Amino acid sequence: MTDMEQKDPELEAFFEAGRAEAPVPSDDLIARILADAEAAPVSAAPTVSSSGGVFGALSSIWAEMGGWKTTIGLGFAGLVGVYIGYSDPTVTDTTASLFVGGYSYDVSDLALTASDLWAEG
């Protein structure tokens, strides 16, 4: 892939043709694009909170983050990260066993025995 010594002459001919003729848009196309841009409505400036102060800044940050759902999810993820980071590993293991059920698989659970193979049903 990185060996630049092997060049396909037929493929190189297509590349050279592509480099030689750069497409230029017609004057009619440029005029239609400019007319369409001038006809587009000018969007209004973004609204700024009139309350100002600290609460106005917090309100705008709250809105930029996506509202209360996103902010609560971000806060919960941060709290879980702090809990995992600062808790003792045995406490985290105990908490994880509440969700998993405290059961783990062993290699012997995966091995088949002769009685498993000969059982009817």
Alpha-carbon distance 7 to 4, whole Å? 7
| pTM score, whole prediction | 0.33
Q: Which residue has the higher pLDDT, 104 or 12?
A: 12
End-to-end Cα spacing for the chain: 56
Averaged over 59-80, what is the pLDDT?
Answer: 87
- pLDDT single digits (tens) 23-51: 889 999 999 999 998 888 877 666 655 55
Q: Where are the domains of the chain?
A: 11-38
DSSP symbol at 4: T
